[in-house]
Amino acid sequence: MRIVFAGTPEFAVASLGAAARQHEVVAVYTQPDRPAGRGRGLMPSPVKLDAIARGIPVFQPETLKTAEAQQQLRALQPDLMVVVAYGLILPKAVLAIPTHGCWNVHASLLPRWRGAAPIQRAIQAGDAETGVCLMQMEAGLDTGPVLLRQHTPINDTDTGGQLHDRLAQLGAQVLADGLGLLRAGLKPIPQVQPAEGVTYAHKLDKAEARLDWDQDAEVLARTVRAFNPWPIAEAVLAGERVRIHGAVAIADNHGKAPGTVIGAAREGIDIACGRGALRLRVVQREGGKAITAADYLNARRDLRIEG
């Protein structure tokens, strides 16, 4: 099959590999190079770098809405277009170009968590499981019928980064399964998404990373995990703003005002919350690197509270 692959971030790289292993990927579409790093130099996307390494032609249009971009895609004569975290809207005209339409690998169990940040939102909400769906794309946002799906549990220790990596591999497997069926003439049967259970995973905002000690400690602990490695939770700790890379909720009927340090020892720094307490295990001072609570307390001996 002649496949056109469209994707941008690291999450899509494994799926590109799955598509390229047994099929002819005639082109890769990815977003234009963006400024990044301290020098703000233009950086290619992870998918672009992988495509170049594989010798696959790369296209980087600003939009697919123009007649020129659509004619370029049409000239590739694709049997299928595979889209994984591409980041650009595909107009109806584009969806109709490939013989078998466009498939999307989405990191949730649709219809739950349609949208931009399904991995982090699933952790943040306390979901017991998530997964990936291979979906036949249509004009709506992640509304198309599901072709295949795979489930995976969300562990109590999973961070956004760990779940991202697991789902990237699971997505590649689901795509490989779907492509194998299509190649054998056994196209997966589309299952229309139910109207019940629809939720939206809105894009992450840095402002969300600021922890509010008035909240339940369990909610804050999930936010810390969900926002690791980006944007990383932050809060005021005894007058100092720190970033929080690792924390767990503990049951503690402290009776203290939210934000109060109620325990500070090698195992962690306990902060009173609206309900329970949050034990900070890995923190980062401004301009520094992530360190354990024990190392932080070596520099903040005024905070030590044994017990």
Binding region for (6S)-5,6,7,8-tetrahydrofolate = 108-111
The beta strand positions in 14-106, using DSSP E, are 24-29, 34-36, 41-43, 58-59, 80-84, 102-106
At 191, give phi and psi (nearest 5°): -110, 115
Say how far apart CA 132 and CA 113 lie, in whole Å: 11
Report which secondary-structure segment, H or E, holds 249: strand 240-250
Q: Which residue has the tokens 């997966």?
A: 188
Rounded CA separation 280/258 (Å): 14
- Interatomic CA distance for residues 284 and 242, integer angstroms: 6
Contacts of 198 (CB under 8 A, 6+ apart): 111, 112, 114
**The residue count for the chain:** 307
**What's the Rg (C-alpha) of the chain?**
22
Going from the C-alpha of 26 to that of each of 6, 73, 199, 252, the distances in angstroms are 11, 10, 35, 59
Nearest Cα to 27, choosing from 74, 93, 85, 88? 74
Q: Are 131 and 166 in contact (CB under 8 A)?
A: no
Side chain identity, residue 51? A
Q: Can you say which residues are annotated as belonging to the binding site?
A: 108-111
Measured N-to-C along each axis, helices 13-22 and 160-183 cross at an angle, to the nearest 10 degrees, of 20
